Chains A and B, each alone.
Chain A
């Protein structure tokens, strides 16, 4: 079953605007990760946030985690056309050595 669910499913914005994507999950976690996938390509890791962290930054990316609401958000600031891709959250289900479970993703289109 799907652990993480991203929202919205699709997002279209103008270049320079900020893009916010959300992820909700069902069980407790040790960490949550965000990945990016360009069309026809493999996934690329963006950022990992641990369950005891509330916010993390990496360049133009800002990730928040609210374990009480079982949700995370990914903010991309000052978006560029090259940010057009699908973005997935992935969680570890919080128990032992279990593989990551991915959501269905948010398809982001940044229009130049």
Chain B
């Protein structure tokens, strides 16, 4: 399977717990993007990373949210001390090297976080 892989597809957490969402980009892709989608809304940009480097995190909330894309392994979006307002679908996308952030993005199927 050469597509963008996200897991888990569904995650339920209680308020105050931590959520970790993982994303493996398409083979050969070097850039990863995280977007958040609320019900009946469009996607809101959160963060743009390449291996071991955050390129743009202008859409990330200042507290509780962090992202990484280590040299080995998937990109991880981490949400600490979750609150009900964090309930959303989180989408990861990837792009090949040299294309830049404004080219075609390849999306995963999303991780749907529900905070009880």
Residues on A facing B (Cβ under 8 Å) = 2, 30-31, 33, 35, 41-45, 48, 88, 92, 97-105
Contacts and interface: CB of A to CB of B under 8 A. Distances in A.
Interface residues of B, number: 26
Question: Which of the listed residues B35, B40, B42, B93 has the most CB atoms from chain A within 10 Å of its own CB?
Answer: B42
B110 A99 contact: no
B24 to A, nearest CB: 14
Q: Is the interface of A mostly helix, strand, loop or mixed?
A: loop
B2 interface: no
A30 B100 CA distance: 12
Contacts of B41: 104
B108 A104 contact: no
B91 A42 contact: yes
Interface in B69-116: 91, 93, 100-110
